[in-house]
Amino acid sequence: MQENWRNFLRAQQALIENGQVVHFGDPVSELAHTQAGTILVDLSHYGLLGLSGADAGVFLQNQLSCDVREVSADQAKYGSYCTPKGRVLANFIIMDIDGEWLLQLPMDLCASIQKRLSMFVLRSKVDIHDRSGQYVRMGIAGAQANKLVASIAGTRLDLDNGSALKIIHSEHAHVICHAPDRFELIVSEKDAQELWCLFNGNARPAGAACWRWREIHEGVPVITTATQEQFLPQMINLDIIGGVSFKKGCYPGQEIVARTQFLGKLKRRMCLAKIATGEPVNDGDDVFSTEMQDQSCGTIVNAVPSVEGGYDVLAVIQQNSINAGSLFWRKPGGPELIIGTLPYILD
């Protein structure tokens, strides 16, 4: 997070810890407003890796699970970077901003993913840099989000769910359309404060957890340090939201990912659930079932406090255990997971 931007947010009453905004003074009220109103969120908890050079596109095509050829200046995509065993090291949004490939992923994964990608550049004409400090990113979501973003985009935003990750460019911002009522603005530091103040009158500033609450309810996972190398891309539903191509060429783990897809051996899927507990729920926590007794049947991918109390989570769980019911957090007979409904259909 840039120093001037950090100082600006603190002047707006932001509590900042470990490079991300925790809240603006009232986390409970901010979370409630996330469901009923319009929120404005700093997204500095996500970092940006930039790749450039004559061979950058081909290099990424050979490393990532998504089809990079489908990315353009007007369309971003979800994707993942896997081990040779097909396990996800990181998932991200990949985009083309000002002629440079950008991967947006959790800030604390940027250094390790940059280092690993650099190992495979070899003689290719590819440069990899951390661009996290080059832009300010802010999110706006809720009932008034479309109208507010349209006012600075200079165009109507006639969007539906089929427009996910469409990019609209304006004089002052690159706008990523995550959903019809959720947008991300990528802006220069010099424009960031003016835009924040412009939106602030009609959207409530909120902490990073409020943005994650929206992502969780849209079924968008985020791999963190606690869950690296635990899941195939399909387990976290990346194939459903467009983060996996089964028609492109090879990439690390491609053989295992494809074999799982075409032989129908996927036994675990990510689902939305609620856990009624006052204790903290963390990424990587185990899920148990009556059916499997003391053996874990699943893993928490992401968790945030719920508007209604307790926690809302994305969890990868064995499909047989989901069908059998009676799922528990952290230990057999612990707080129960109540399965919710994702906005897309699981196969």
With beta carbons less than 8 A apart as the criterion, state whether 50 and 100 touch. Answer: yes
pLDDT digits 0-9 by tens, 223-232: 999 999 999 9
Binding-site residues sit at 184
Q: What is the pLDDT of residue 280?
A: 96
The proportion of the chain whose per-residue pLDDT surpasses 90, expressed as a percent, equals 82
Round to whole Å and give the CA distance between 171 and 196.
16
With beta carbons less than 8 A apart as the criterion, state whether 203 and 138 touch. Answer: no
pLDDT digits 0-9 by tens, 38-67: 999 999 999 999 999 999 999 999 999 999
**Which CATH number is associated with domain 267-347?**
2.40.30.160
Residue with tokens 């931007």: 5
> Average pLDDT of the chain?
93
Name the H helices within the chain: 3-11, 27-36, 56-61, 110-119, 145-153, 189-200, 208-217, 254-262, 319-324
Binding-site residues for substrate sit at 184
With beta carbons less than 8 A apart as the criterion, state whether 21 and 42 touch. Answer: yes
Residue with tokens 């409530």: 204
Taking the CA of residue 4 as centre, how many other CA atoms within 13 Å lie in the half-sphere pointing to its CB?
10
pLDDT digits 0-9 by tens, 8-39: 999 999 999 999 999 999 999 999 999 889 99
Nearest to 306 by CA among 34, 18, 16, 23: 34
Q: What is the pLDDT of residue 161?
A: 62
Nearest to 222 by CA among 205, 236, 201: 236
Residues of the chain with CATH 2.40.30.160: 267-347
Nearest to 233 by CA among 170, 301, 283, 327: 301
Q: What is the pLDDT of residue 347?
A: 74
Q: What is the pLDDT of residue 160?
A: 66
pLDDT digits 0-9 by tens, 121-170: 988 999 999 999 999 999 999 999 999 988 876 666 666 666 689 999 88
Nearest to 253 by CA among 235, 269, 226: 235
Coil/strand/helix, residue 180: coil
Higher pLDDT, 136 or 325: 136
pLDDT digits 0-9 by tens, 190-223: 899 999 999 998 999 999 999 999 999 999 999 9
pLDDT category at 325 given cuts 50, 70, 90 is confident
Residues of the chain with CATH 3.30.1360.120: 1-266
Q: What is the pLDDT of residue 159?
A: 66
To the nearest 10°, report the CA torsion of 131, 161, 80, 132.
Answer: 10
The proportion of the chain whose per-residue pLDDT surpasses 70, expressed as a percent, equals 97
Q: What is the pLDDT of residue 249?
A: 87
pLDDT at 235 over 90: yes
Q: Does domain 1-266 correspond to CATH entry 3.30.1360.120?
A: yes
